[in-house]
Structure 1
Amino acid sequence: MCEPRHFAVEYAINPWMDPTKPASAERAVEQWKKLRDTYRSLGHTVEEIAPVPGLPDMVFAANSGTVVDGRVLGSRFRAPQRAAEADHFRRWFVEHGYRDIVMPAQINEAEGDFAWTGQVLLAGTGFRTDPAAHAEAQEVLGVPVVSLRLTDPRYYHLDTALFVLAEATESRPAHIAYYPEAFSAGSRRVLARLFPDAVLADTADAESFGLNAVSDGRNVVLPVEATGLADRLAAHGYEPVFVDISELRKAGGGPKCCTLEIRK
């Protein structure tokens, strides 16, 4: 995670960003710290990378790397305003002992568009990550990739429209939640075939960034406004854990955007 010490909405690279509206770095830091502390209270280890002046979106660490079995595929941003973030995260991995690191040749916004299910890597495209990056991810990470096409610009990254509730194990398949209307017709059919028991989100869930959630297989950290989705998750045996990310949402981010999950 990366503290949003330099958080600001200075440009618009997604439909949620409006530079004419005020944004508070102080309030963003306060909300971010509560999110970080929530993970720690649930027993998770949180590593931090130092924020860099001039990179107001560096808080959205999920876009800076994909880690599966300790192998790291870095990122390459589409927006020039974020391009410098990639190398800061690459150096962090090097300094923390990771040796199997590949920086992509294709536009690849990491866990923003990649979701590991324990069996396959779900890979989004349509607005940010290039389709060719999906094949590159398969080659680098050595896992099968399933491509999904996003069609609604409000849900410009896969992690705004889908998240993994529980990774697959030897005894059970993966379980996911997603917002069908964010995807092309073909991608919806793929998701229905692969995950027939998925939790389906509605428009209110999606608009509150409810799909930009983080699950450890039991606890699901999600925005406080996503009450309908929380009720459905509870009915499936999950424990919703609410956080306030209203300030960070002004830049188009939520709990998952702030969280790069490291699978060693």
Structure 2
Amino acid sequence: MIVATPTDFLDAFATLAPLPSATATARGAFLVAPADFSLAAESARDNRYMAMEQSVDPLRALAQHQALAQALRADVPVIVFPGDATTPDAVFPNNVFGTAPDTLVVGRMRHAVRQREAERTDIRAFFGELLGYDEIDLSGCDNLVAELTGSLVIDRARGIGYCGLSERCDLAGAEAMHRAFGLRLTYAFELAPGEYHTNVVFALLAGRAAILAADGFADPAVPQAIAQAYGNRALWLSPAQKQAYAANAITLSEDRVWMSAVAAASLTGEQRDALAGWGFRLGTVDLSEIEKAGGSLRCCVGEIY
């Protein structure tokens, strides 16, 4: 079922108990290392978070990425695929490759510079030949745009997707991802003008709490409904905290939230206390160089279910 209003969402949410066999967090993660890291002007056309006026240091980006992979190994096994110099900003694989149990989903990217990432045979072979996953390939669908878990935040415990519509995901893309990830319910809504991905304005924490930037949604009733669904366990971000990527966070275990050092530094003491009260420790990694490319920690992490 795909719904588009807060009322319909809350009514449907109330009928969906957590799935007995589902887990709220991934059993592993995969990353793609930066190779000759740079910023793609094509992607900057609809990503206002990119720092095109700044220079980037490829070696510093690589060192920060290595530190990220090592840090995340405290929670789950982490696979790092080598970067490709022909796609120098391809450090955000979650937009292109996603998983559901026994299934690899390949997304349909908007920009040609990122569509090339979907052609990687090594990532496809890892899941298909080594892990035995089936593959659902949306990359060749010219009638839709679907940038996977950039646009779609998933409550894995309940089989519910939250899909922000923008230049990076249209309704046809939302419908395709609903089927590909085997979701029971998808709530589709418009992001605010200028926002490109849902995971910059909304993070779901192990299926029991949320981080929300209200100004990232076209309709303020949307984030209010999401917060209500999770018992108002919501961390509300200011515009400055959103810009610091505080919503670009991820839980890879039941008791830790990962976000960048810049994002964590933007949180207030009250917000940190709220996370602790909901059972979450805070894990941080300096990703200041990588963040110049318009994404942060969550964007770097592909989840393995």
Task: Give me the TM-score of the superposition, normalised by structure 1.
Answer: 0.89
CA contact (8 A) 2:49 2:243 kept: no
> Greater strand share, 1 or 2?
2
Aligned with 2:70: secondary structure?
A: helix
Aligned with 1:261: secondary structure?
A: strand
Once the 2 structures are TM-superposed, how far is the Cα of residue 189 of structure 1 from its aligned partner?
4.3
Once the 2 structures are TM-superposed, how far is the Cα of residue 175 of structure 1 from its aligned partner?
2.4
User: Is there any run of 5+ residues in structure 1 with no aligned partner, and where?
Assistant: 168-173
Aligned residue identity for 1:3: A
Q: Which structure has more RCO (C-alpha within 8 Å, separation ≥ 6)?
A: 2
Distance 1:95 1:57 in 2: 27
Match of 2:248 among 198, 206, 212: 212
* Paired positions, count: 255
Q: CA RMSD, aligned part only?
A: 1.9
Distance 2:196 2:78 in 1: 26
Moved more, 6-15 or 71-80: 6-15
CA contact (8 A) 1:107 1:129 kept: yes
Aligned residue identity for 2:170: D
Distance 1:98 1:108 in 2: 24
**2:33 matched to which residue of 1?**
3
**Residues 1-264 of structure 1: matches in 2 within 5 Å?**
1-11=31-41, 12-13=44-45, 14-40=47-73, 42-88=74-120, 89-104=123-138, 105=141, 106-117=144-155, 118-119=157-158, 120-144=160-184, 145-153=186-194, 155-167=195-207, 174-185=208-219, 186-203=221-238, 204-215=240-251, 216-225=253-262, 226-227=264-265, 228=267, 229-263=271-305
**1:171 matched to which residue of 2?**
none
- Deviations 1:83-117 (Å, cap 9, x if unpaired)? 11012143443343343111113311111112221
- Deviations 1:12-36 (Å, cap 9, x if unpaired)? 2411224342011111111111111
User: Is there any run of 5+ residues in structure 2 with no aligned partner, and where?
Assistant: 1-30
Q: Which structure: larger Rg?
A: 2
Question: Would the alpha carbon gap of residues 179 and 93 (structure 1) be closer, same or farther in structure 2, given more than 3 Å must change?
Answer: same
Task: Give me the TM-score of the superposition, normalised by structure 2.
Answer: 0.78
Aligned residue identity for 1:220: V
Question: Would the alpha carbon gap of residues 38 and 10 (structure 1) be closer, same or farther in structure 2, given more than 3 Å must change?
Answer: same
Aligned residue identity for 1:93: F
CA contact (8 A) 1:66 1:114 kept: no
